[in-house]
Structure 1
Amino acid sequence: MIRSPESVLLYSKTRLPVARKSLVERSRLIERLELAVQGRLTLVSAPAGFGKTTLLGQWLSLTERDASWVSLEEADSDPVRFWRYAAEALSPLIETDERQEYEQLVRTFPGVSASTFLDAFMNRLCNLSRPAVLVLDDYHAITEPRIHDSLAYFIEHKPFGLHLVLSSRSELPFPVSRWIARDELTVIDASQLLFTAEEAEGFCREASSFLEPHHVRKLHERTEGWITGLQLASISLREAEDREAFIDRFKGHHRHVADYLFHEVVAGLPEEMRHFLYATSALRRLDAKSCDAVTGRADGRSMLERLKSRNLFLVPLDDYDDWFRYHRLFADFLRNRVKESDPKLWRSANLAAAESLAARGLLDEAIDCALAGGDYDLAERCLERHAPDVLKRGEFPTLLRWFDGFPPETKLSADMALLRAFLYVVTGQRELAGRCLEQLEASARSPDAGEDRQRLRSGLLFVRSNLLFTFGEFEQWFAFSDGILDEFLPRNPLFFNFNYNLTEPLARRTAFGLKGVLSAQTEQIGRLFAGALERHGWGESLINLYVLQALAEGFYEWDRFEESAELLERIERAAHRSFVPGLFVPCRITQTNLYWFSGQRELAHETLDEAEARVAGPGNEIWSGFLASAKARLHLMEGSTNLAKKEVAKLRIEAKDRPSYHREYDYLTLCRLLSAQRKEAEALRLLQRMKPQAAREGSLAGLTEIGLLQAELLDRTGQRAEAMKTLREAIAIGEANGYVRTFLEGGVRTEKLLRKYLASLDQENPGSGIAGSRTYVSGLLARFPDDAREEVAAAQGGLIEPLTRAEIRLLDLIRLGESNKRIAEILSLSEGSVKVYSSRIYGKLGVSSRTQAVIAAQRLGLLRED
């Protein structure tokens, strides 16, 4: 099972229906279902009460097929929730040795687009060891167009060994003509689901032994084989004094008959059982504890047993008779009945359910019940408590659905109103977001704002910044923030401690890091934003640390090592106190790059070793993988192909794979290894598949690295024109964002390639070319060190690189004789970090011990005298 700290999946929804012993075996339909498995899709379509779920459950039980099941409901109209349930249902079919990678993939959604997630998801499913069936029951409950689109895409491209079955009360909301034309769709509709006379006789014989054959024939004629009608009639006839007259009255439209017969059934029950049904209809699913809460009694378990023994439309959700739900049609009848005849009971039952469910931590259901009961204060309290977890899960449509459940006149708290605006931003609803923010800004200006004023203003800066950044409106950010940064006082950890990175090795690759966008504007905004946070005591909030990390990576890319190192040191200290892998790993990888390209190669390796030890353990596999990739890249740069191969082996990826976007960094490392092994064709095949994914995700950093690798490999294999075309694309991105290190890291190979590019410009149009790119490329070439400069740097005595203030402070503590343990306590570092920083200082001073370092620093006048 896919379990994570944020997961609140109801595992009963992914269990196959519990088959009842006394079922009429529907051999003709089971044979049809068996034949349909050879195709792509089966649709079982009919109104409520036609036995769709029962038929599918019986088929899977009798045939013992490998099958996965998801029972859908309205709350699942959220792309993230929908596909997580599908993934959870299929997880038992994944081989044990692939389960870790599978679970890691599921956790990346919604960090990547639905299309990218589905591509990777289907790649994983290609490895199913045996044919299987996935049943999505009650698909009519799904109303989100994005789910319909993604499911149609999944059906078209899913692995051949996985057959999909949908049961629905309505036609499918996406085109199916292509599958009909290819004879890949089987439809079982209402007319086929109706009981035959023989099936009706068998059913009635099991349900009502007192019925005569002519009663059965007449019932079959009156119900036209409608299964629920037969079941209702059989129950009602137990108490009917005149069975003939009852059967004669039994006619009309299915829904009208259902309402009539449900009324007949319920009206004939004892008062306490009738009240129990009405009160518990407020519950989406029932167990003894929740039933006791809404009825105010203590006999929930025994009442559930009585309902089950009477065959009163109670559907078990597990093998232990702990959880149940009512048949959908019966539940609809009960709810409508209570709402119309006893609204007071409907409200009190929902409120009691909400209080009980909230106390048990079942907040999804608690919020729904509180909204249904009209207690919006309770709903908001539950939402405030639950919102951080739902945000982590990325279920933004679910949160918006709850917000839409509040009447327009409801005055939400400042935090919840801001959250609603933030959700509009992240779901791309710019107009609604803008309207919502305008209302909040008016509230903040109002003299009645009171204590909420400052809370609103700080939150507005955060949400408005997200809005303007999401749509690239940087100039508007400056206009908006002018004059309010000094008043900025953030108070809500919901926004400021949101974890922006769950899946990427570098912050710049995330949406928060703008996926590679760099400019003077983004630098200025980052500095202003971080400065405001730090002035008001939020220097170690996650949002500030991620801003600093993105800036540090940007400075590294721009070849501004000192500024990058200074920020990384601050981040590393904070990471020591509060370990967040999505921040810690990018920090260590960036620090490694700084060490390596500053000539401190031992420190680079030590930094990754220490980081690897820190993230070791279950749950951090994705981060261990990224560190293994980073180590492999170091080995490749020093020419150690065999060592790089050992690190790549830890990633469990191969050249024959269909690469998925969430592991782009790892696959790019594999491509580098394949290049070093002279396996150009395999590397190019992977890169060709990765490029459209990076483009779809808008990853500028990824597109540039892919383009450079492609150009190098194409040039090496004699495809000069294609190489220059690909290189031009990478240069265009690099020039727009001022990239430097991405090109310099390629060393001599990239330098030669860039020189060929300049030559090709002259050949196309001598003396002209593309002026901008010519200047940019010439600037890059000037930064590549020649052999003479490298020899001078290597032989230089004294201080090669200045010490930072933090390094001088650490050196001063060494002078005072403090141990590494004591220094770590004073500077809030780990002992391992102290060793790493000490080695870095030794490297800068050209010494190899503490004593030599102190003497050298004193000679240079770096230490204060006591």
Structure 2
Amino acid sequence: MPELLRTKLFIPRPRPGRVARPRLTARLNAGLNRKLTLVAAPAGFGKTTLLSEWIPQSPRCVTWLALDGEDNDPARFWAYVIAALQEVHRSLGVSALAMLQSPEAPTPAALITSVINEIAAFPEPFAVVLEDYHVIDSQPIHSGMAYLIEHLPDNLHLTITTRVDPPLPLARLRAHNQLTELRSNDLRFTPEEAGDFLAKAMGLTLSPHQVEALESRTEGWIAGLQIAALSMQGRDDISGFIEAFSGSHRHIVGYLAEEVLNQRPKGTLHFLLQTSVLDRLSGPLCDALTGESDGQATLEKLEQTNLFISPLDDEGIWFRYHHLFAEVLQARLQRTQPEKVTELHRLAARWHARQDMTTEAVHHALAGADFDLAAALIEEAAGSMLRMGAIASLMRWLDALPEAMIRTRPRLSLARAWTYHLGPALSLERADGWAQLALENALAAGSLDSSLSGEIAALQSMIAATRSESTLSRDLAHQALQNLPNDSPWRSAVTFCLGTAHVDAGDITAAARAFEDAITLSQNDGAHYIQLAAAAFLGDILVLQGRLARAQAVYGQVLAWANPDLPQKGGVMAHAGLASILCEQNQLDAASAHVQAGAAMVQNVGGAWSAHVLDRALARVQLARGNRTEALAILERSYHNGLRAQVNLVVRQAAALQATVHLAQGSLDVAAAWAATSGLRPDDAAAAHPGWWEVEYLALARVLAAQGRQKEAFGLLDRLLDAARNEARAGSEIAILVLRATLHSESRLTNDRQRPLRQLEHALTLAEPEGFVRVFLDEGDTMRALLVELQSTLALRPDEGENRRIAAYAGRLLAAFAQSAVADTRLPSNLIEPLSERELEILLLVAEGLSNREIADRLVIAVSTVKSHINAIYGKLGTHRRMQAVVVARELGLLPA
């Protein structure tokens, strides 16, 4: 993001000879006890002047931010807000600023929550003034401001000046007495104030009658009084002049400003018109536009004569014209010298470019239709803007350029591609199309240097990874790393992408190496979000390898690295990983705690994959507690999140996990429909290196077995087992062996009871050192029977060494079965499917005669959730009415007689 302008943070100085307005400053001081003060009036009513008079008298420290149209980029807006906060104390907003400087753009809620927390922890009360809020038309900014106001700490007061009411919750603030309002009628000069102003500020001695007449004509409008006073200076017939004008504010401005301009010396008028295109003026900048060398002296003279110019710093270097006066000057320039407007903007653009003031340079270059200069500046700034999250500004600049120019300049095409990949208008198809266009045009023009080639390949690798095109992503990542400079900030992100591609392709060893390299690179280039995400993925690999203790340590390191006030996707993934491990070890309460901690983060960072791994962990906890309805709802949410974000892996995993739950519920038709439309086959080549897709293939094996296609199911499991062993994925091997043992025990293909026992014993040998539990418990009664049978077999062997260790482990698992609320998750003979804990709880309340509403109130859940559970109970008991369900449940011994 281009460097921030310090002049926007300058608090305007009270003018000499100003009119004291104690009635208004008292109201401003009283308003400090509320959340918001709104100073709302059209231009020229003295909003800024009033606040500049009030601030030195305020009992609180006050900081200032002058807004302009460029601030409609949320990243830029909040960066300036943080800069204003840091004028109070440099510690304020540090975490939020780190968020903004991360390519992993934070959600508005996360960013503002961080700001709120740091303000709340600050010991002193203070106020922030946002000047000219009417220039903001960004809905995300308005939403963020509404969130800030709603949660505003007691030690912060906001004051907003604006020409129109902003779309903020003003009515609610009024209703709760949290809003102070100063409007046009409050700001108008009284006749006494008008007399003081004309005498003190403008040096005019008028009679009380003349003052009253002038105040009446201008309706106390301060800008009108000032322009009228400037017009009267040197006139003999003051009374005649006062009688001569009337009308609206706009009419008065046009008439009187022309009068004022006509009285200026020719040189001064030339200066005013030539510099009217500028938002901020300095002596050297003005010289660049006028061709003269007296810019600084002229600015100082204009300030001394009160000619609608205000300083923007204490050194007298930067100034600005009053908005109304600037509009009059621009209108006159456009009317009298239209051919000069473009030239002046171009001169301003070149001057700002030489000063490395990119935002201002681009603004003037676009206004002056100097598209070549604008394009060059945008090309140079695009990389840093992308990494700093200033996507909205970059998109706005690109939209202002001719489309043909973007298409023919490879770096602009690439910038457009990045905005489609990282911005709010996510479109992988458009991002890929623009990246390809950049590559083709660079090749055609002979301008494809290694840096550009590397960056294009980096983006294409990330797009391919999002689409789960692992081979293409891996090849492009290698190409990018070969071409990117060693100091390129994209190297850590591409190396991370390479790691995900290796996992996708089933090369776990290479993936782990890539993630370790990404951690090192990110530590060197400051890409903290890559460091956390790469470490979290490294933890996931360790889980696949069955190294749960080591994975726990890595996830813990991620959380140690993470800033608690700066939530990032890596932190969410670490909590999800810890939750999964703890759930696997049957520590469900501890697992739930990590899910809740991750959920608090994921709301602030977004991201379909990080949300999915958390939902996946939460769904497994719910399944372990017998709450299949809740688990399905969680997975359905993850599925739709993946669709919206166009992350294919999330969509497919969520669908496969849903099919597994449906199968456990006895809904074979639903699970079979998934298998038929999944595109998976038991003889797929991908099953030899399944990577992330192992979840799908395990679900497919279950469905095939349930359909009576045992040979195909076991053939698929054999290939998955070979892949797991070849890739040293002991965690995967355990899960496959457990499923094979379960399906073999239930299969009618063979009467060989030793085969499932051998598979189970092997699984136990691998699982015991790391304390796997749920992988066994989740298979229900069949697994419990196998464990009992294996214990009997082990009892016939010598009571020593490995036999003793495995027998003890089997005993611990059987004890866990006994304690589990869902020991029987398979299909008993007398029920279509066992009832979950929550369903039994609801059935008991139904038996007591409670209505759906009463049950919902008792359990603190929604009525719709009660209805969903009751429908599930009907399906499992084979009934259609409440009392019928109670009768059947009593017959089955589920309820007391």
Counterpart amino acid of residue 284 in structure 2: K
Residue deviations 1:565-617 (CA, integer Å, cap 9, x gap):
46458768988998866656755676687689879999x8xxxxxxxxxxxxx
Question: Shift of the alpha carbon at 1:714?
Answer: 8.1
Q: Do the aligned residues in 1 keep the contact of 2:9 with 2:84 (CA within 8 Å)?
A: yes
1:241 pairs with 220, 224, 236, which one? 236
1:162 maps to a residue whose letter is: L
* Residue 388 of structure 2, aligned match among 393, 397, 405: 393
User: In the alignment, which residue of structure 1 is the partner of 2:80?
Assistant: 85
User: Which of 159, 162, 172 is residue 156 of structure 2 equivalent to?
Assistant: 162
1:265 Cα deviation (Å)? 1.6
Q: Tell me how far apart the structure 1 counterparts of residues 259 and 649 of structure 2 sit (CA, whole Å).
A: 77
Q: Is the 8 A contact 1:105 1:121 kept in 2?
A: no
Aligned Cα RMSD in Å?
5.0
Q: Among residues 375, 378, 385, which one is paired with 1:380 in the alignment?
A: 375
Distance 1:126 1:433, change over 3 A: farther
Instruction: Name the SS for the 2:469 alignment partner.
Output: helix
- Whichever residue aligns with residue 326 of structure 1, its letter is Y
- Partners of 2:124 and 2:576 lie apart in 1 by 31
**1:738 Cα deviation (Å)?**
7.9
Distance change (3 Å), C-alpha of 1:575 and 1:310: closer
- On the 8 A contact 1:47/1:190 being kept in 2, the answer is yes
Post-superposition shift, 1:195? 0.6
Aligned pair partner of 2:553 in 633, 637, 640: 633
Q: C-alpha deviations, 1:206-258, integer Å up to 9, x for none?
A: 12243333322221121110001111222222221321222112321111211
- Tell me the CA shift for residue 709 of structure 1: 6.3
408-417 or 129-138, which deviates more: 408-417
Query: Per the alignment, do residues 126 and 438 of structure 1 end up closer, same or farther by CA in structure 2, a change over 3 Å counting?
Result: closer
The answer on 1:190 being equivalent to 2:184 is yes
**Deviations, residues 607-637 of structure 1 (Å, cap 9, x unaligned):** xxxxxxxxxxxxxxxxxxxxxxx9x83597x
SS in 2 for 1:126: helix
1:228 aligns with 2:244: no
Q: 1:282-301: per-residue Cα shift (whole Å, max 9, x none)? A: 22211121122112122222
Change (3 A) 1:601 1:326: same
Partners of 2:105 and 2:605 within 8 A in 1: no
Q: Tell me the CA shift for residue 306 of structure 1.
A: 0.7
Q: Percent identity?
A: 28
How far is the alpha carbon of 1:309 from its aligned partner?
A: 0.8
Give me the whole-angstrom Cα distance separating, in 2, the residues matched to 1:305 and 1:359.
Answer: 24
Distance in 2, matches of 1:261 and 1:429, equals 48
Between the aligned partners of 1:402 and 1:705, the Cα distance in structure 2 is 37
Q: Secondary structure at the match of 1:251?
A: coil
CA contact 1:455–1:490 (8 Å) conserved in 2? no
Identify the residue that residue 179 of structure 1 maps to in structure 2: 173
Distance, in Å, in 2 between the alignment partners of 1:37 and 1:397 is 34
Q: After TM superposition, list the pairs within 5 Å mapping 1:694-773 onto structure 2.
A: 694=602, 698-703=606-611, 705-707=613-615, 720-721=625-626, 725=630, 729=634, 765=666
Separation in structure 2 between the aligned mates of residue 439 and residue 573 of structure 1, nearest angstrom: 28
Structure 1 residue corresponding to 2:135, chosen from 129, 138, 141: 141
Q: Deviations over 1:428-487 (max 9, x none)?
A: 44799959969996x999xxx7x763679x8xxxxxxxxxxxxxxxxxxxxxxxxxxxxx
Looking at structure 2, the residues matched to 431 and 522 of structure 1 have their Cα atoms a distance apart, in angstroms, of 16
Find the aligned partners of 1:69 and 1:674 in 2 and give their Cα distance.
50
The one-letter code sitting in structure 2 at the alignment partner of 1:12 is: T
Partner in structure 1 of residue 452 of structure 2:
492
Query: Structure 1 stretch 46-55 or stretch 98-107: which is displaced more?
Result: 98-107
CA shift, 1:85, in A, is 1.1
1:53 aligns with 2:13: no
Distance 1:105 1:792 in 2: 40
Confirm or deny: 8 A CA contact 1:80 1:395 kept in the other structure: yes
Q: Is the 8 A contact 1:40 1:163 kept in 2?
A: yes
Distance (Å, rounded) in 1 between the aligned partners of 2:251 and 2:520: 69
Distance 2:473 2:364 in 1: 42
The reply on whether 1:453 has 2:444 as its aligned counterpart is yes
Q: How many residues align?
A: 681
1:277 pairs with 2:301: no
One-letter amino acid of the structure 2 residue matched with residue 247 of structure 1: I
Change (3 A) 1:685 1:233: farther
Residues 569 and 606 in structure 2, CA contact (< 8 A), matched pair in contact too = no
Matching residue within 765, 786, 793 for 1:788 = 765
| Structure 2 residue 293 is the aligned partner of structure 1 residue 293 | no
In structure 2, give the amino acid aligned to 1:782. Answer: I
Distance 1:86 1:675, change over 3 A: farther
Matched-pair contact (CA < 8 Å) for 1:414–1:455: no
Instruction: Provide closer, same or farther for how the CA distance between residues 402 and 193 of structure 1 changes in structure 2, counting only shifts above 3 A.
Output: same
For residues 24-63 of structure 1, what are the structure 2 equivalents within 5 Å? 24-63=19-58
Structure 1 counterpart of 2:364, which letter?
Answer: C
Residue by residue over 1:286-331, the C-alpha shift from the partner in whole angstroms, topping out at 9 and shown as x without a partner, is: 1121122112122222111111111111111111111111111111
How far does the alpha carbon of each residue in 1:798-854 deviate from its partner, in whole angstroms, 9 at most, with x for none? Answer: xxxxxxxxxxxxxxxxxxxxxxxxxxxxxxxxxxxxxxxxxxxxxxxxxxxxxxxxx
Q: Which residue of 1 aligns with 2:357?
A: 362
Preserved CA contact (<8 Å) 1:703 1:730: no
**What is the alpha-carbon distance in structure 1 between the residues aligned to residue 505 and residue 533 of structure 2?**
17
Structure 2 CA distance for aligned equivalents of residues 82 and 132 of structure 1: 20
| Cα distance in 1 between the residues matched to 2:427 and 2:544 | 46
In structure 2, stretches of 5+ residues that fail to align are 676-694, 703-716, 718-731, 739-761, 771-897
Q: Deviation of residue 684 (structure 1)?
A: 5.2
Pick the structure with greater CA Rg. 2
Q: Name 1:526's counterpart in structure 2.
A: 473
Question: For 1:172 and 1:578, how far apart are their aligned partners in 2?
Answer: 40
Partner residue, 1:260: 255
Alignment counterpart, residue 549 of structure 1, candidates 496, 502, 511: 496
Q: Residue 297 of structure 2: which of 299, 302, 322 is its match?
A: 302
- CA deviation after TM superposition for structure 1 residue 525, in Å: 3.2
Q: Write the deviation string for residues 62-110 of structure 1: whole angstroms up to 9, x where unpaired.
A: 11423332211111111111121112212344574x7643432343476
- Shift of the 493–329 alpha-carbon distance from structure 1 to 2, 3 Å rule, reads farther
The 3-state SS of whatever aligns with 2:121 is coil
Q: 2:95 maps to which residue?
A: 101
Given that 2:75 and 2:100 are in contact with CA atoms closer than 8 Å, whether structure 1 keeps it comes out as: no
TM-score (norm 1): 0.66
Q: CA deviation at 1:674?
A: 12
2-structure distance, mates of 1:713, 1:239 = 85
Distance 2:323 2:35 in 1: 28
Q: Could you tell me which residue of structure 2 aligns to residue 132 of structure 1?
A: 126
> Contact 1:251–1:257 (CA<8 Å) still a contact in 2?
yes
Query: Closer, same or farther in 2 for the Cα pair 1:418/1:109, shift >3 Å?
Result: closer
Residue aligned with 1:325, SS = strand
Question: Residue in 2 aligned with 1:816?
Answer: none
Closer, same or farther: CA 223–698 of 1 in aligned 2, 3 Å: closer
8 Å contact from structure 2 (residues 103, 386) kept in 1: no
Conservation of the 8 A alpha-carbon contact between 2:573 and 2:598: no
The answer to whether structure 1 residue 691 and structure 2 residue 596 are counterparts is no
Q: Which amino acid aligns with 1:702?
A: S
Q: Letter of the aligned partner of 1:419 in structure 2?
A: A
Structure 2 Cα separation of the partners of residues 727 and 263 of structure 1: 72
For the residues of structure 2 that align with 1:373 and 1:242, how far apart are their CA atoms?
Answer: 44
**Counterpart in 1 of 2:117?**
123
Residues 444 and 452 in structure 1, CA contact (< 8 A), matched pair in contact too: yes
Contact 2:473/2:498, CA 8 A, preserved across alignment? yes
1:732 Cα offset (Å):
9.7
**Equivalent residues of 1:43, 1:166 under 8 A apart:** yes
- Retained in 2: the 8 A contact 1:280–1:294? yes
Relative to the length of structure 2, the TM-score reads 0.64
Runs (5+) with no aligned partner, structure 1: 1-5, 459-488, 501-506, 605-629, 637-643, 744-753, 794-866
The 1:731–1:292 alpha-carbon spacing in structure 2 relative to 1, beyond 3 Å, is closer
